A and B are shown apart, each in its own frame.
Chain A
Amino acid sequence: MAPHTVIGPPGPLHLPRWSELWEAREVLWRFGQRDILLRYRQTLIGVAWVILQPIVTAGVFALVFGRVAQLPTGGIPYFLFGYVGTLLWTVFASTVNRAAGSLVSNQALVSKVFFPRLLVPLSTCVSVLVDFLVALVIGFGLLWWFGVWPGWAILTIPVWVTLCVALAMGIGLAAAAIMVRYRDIAYVLPWAVQTLLYASPVAYSLEAVPDAVRPYLLANPLTWVLEGMRWAMLGSAAPPVWQIVGAVVVSGLVLFAGLLVFQRYEREFADLI
Chain B
Amino acid sequence: MSAATAISVRGLGKTYRIAHASDRPTRATEAIVARLRHPLRRTTFDRFEALTEVSFDVAAGTALGIIGRNGAGKSTLLKILTRITPPTRGQAELAGRVGSLLEVGTGFHPELTGRENVFLNGTLLGMRRQEITRRFDEIVDFSGCGQFLDTPVKRYSSGMYVRLAFAVAAHLETEILVIDEVLSVGDADFQRRSVQKMRDAATQGRTVLYVSHQLHTVTALCSEALLLDRGTVSAYGAVEDVLATYRASVAEHAVVQRETRAQVPAGILHVVAATTTRLTYLPAEPKRFTFTIQAEAAPDGPYFLSCHINDANGGVVAQCDSRLGGLWFHPDQPQEVTLDLRQPWLKPGTYTVDVFLCRVGIVDVWDGAVTFDVEQELPYAVTGTAESFGRGMVLADFDFGVR
Give residues in A with beta carbon < 8 Å to B: 2-10, 24, 26-27, 30-31, 33-34, 37-38, 41-42, 108-109, 111-115, 178, 181-185, 188, 267, 270-271
Residues of chain A within 8 A (CB-CB) of B123 are 26-27, 30
* B109/A9 in contact, CB under 8 A: no
CA distance A31 to B121 in the complex (A): 10
Provide 21 A-B residue pairs closer than 8 Å at the C-beta atoms, listed in order of the A residue. A3-B96, A3-B97, A4-B93, A5-B94, A7-B83, A7-B93, A9-B87, A9-B88, A9-B89, A10-B86, A33-B120, A34-B120, A38-B111, A112-B107, A113-B102, A113-B125, A181-B28, A182-B27, A183-B27, A184-B28, A270-B84
* B95/A2 in contact, CB under 8 A: yes
Give residues in B with beta carbon < 8 Å to A: 16, 25-29, 31, 79-98, 100, 102-103, 106-107, 109, 111-112, 116, 119-120, 123-126, 128-129, 175
CA distance A115 to B85 in the complex (A): 11
A112-B85 contact, Cβ under 8 Å, with A5-B93, A27-B123: no
CA distance A5 to B9 in the complex (A): 12
CA distance A38 to B25 in the complex (A): 34
Sorted nearest first, the 9 A-B pairs with minimum C-beta distance are: A182-B28, A2-B96, A8-B91, A184-B27, A112-B106, A270-B85, A114-B83, A7-B92, A5-B94
* B106/A109 in contact, CB under 8 A: yes
Minimum CB–CB distance from B354 to chain A (whole Å) comes to 35
CA distance A6 to B8 in the complex (A): 9
Since A5-B94, A41-B111, A113-B100 are in contact, a sample of 4 more A-B pairs with Cβ atoms closer than 8 Å, ordered by chain A residue number, is A30-B120, A112-B84, A113-B84, A271-B85
* A108/B106 in contact, CB under 8 A: yes
CA distance A31 to B87 in the complex (A): 28
Minimum CB–CB distance from B86 to chain A (whole Å) comes to 5
Residues of chain B within 8 A (CB-CB) of A182 are 25-28, 31
CA distance A4 to B119 in the complex (A): 26
* B112/A38 in contact, CB under 8 A: yes
CA distance A8 to B175 in the complex (A): 20
Q: Residue on A with the closest CB to B178?
A: A114
Residues of chain B within 8 A (CB-CB) of A271 are 16, 85
Residues of chain B within 8 A (CB-CB) of A30 are 119-120, 123-124
Minimum CB–CB distance from A164 to chain B (whole Å) comes to 26
Residues of chain A within 8 A (CB-CB) of B25 are 182
* B91/A115 in contact, CB under 8 A: no
Selected from A5, A183, A267, the residue in CB contact (under 8 A) with B98 is: A5
Selected from A9, A38, A178, A267, the residue in CB contact (under 8 A) with B28 is: A178
CA distance A184 to B26 in the complex (A): 8
Residues of chain B within 8 A (CB-CB) of A33 are 120
CA distance A41 to B96 in the complex (A): 39
* A8/B87 in contact, CB under 8 A: yes
A37-B97 contact, Cβ under 8 Å, with A8-B90, A115-B126: no
Minimum CB–CB distance from A33 to chain B (whole Å) comes to 8
CA distance A112 to B123 in the complex (A): 14
CA distance A42 to B152 in the complex (A): 12
A6-B91 contact, Cβ under 8 Å, with A188-B28, A270-B84: yes
Between B86, B125, B128, the greatest number of chain A beta carbons within 10 A of the residue's beta carbon is seen for B86
Minimum CB–CB distance from A184 to chain B (whole Å) comes to 4
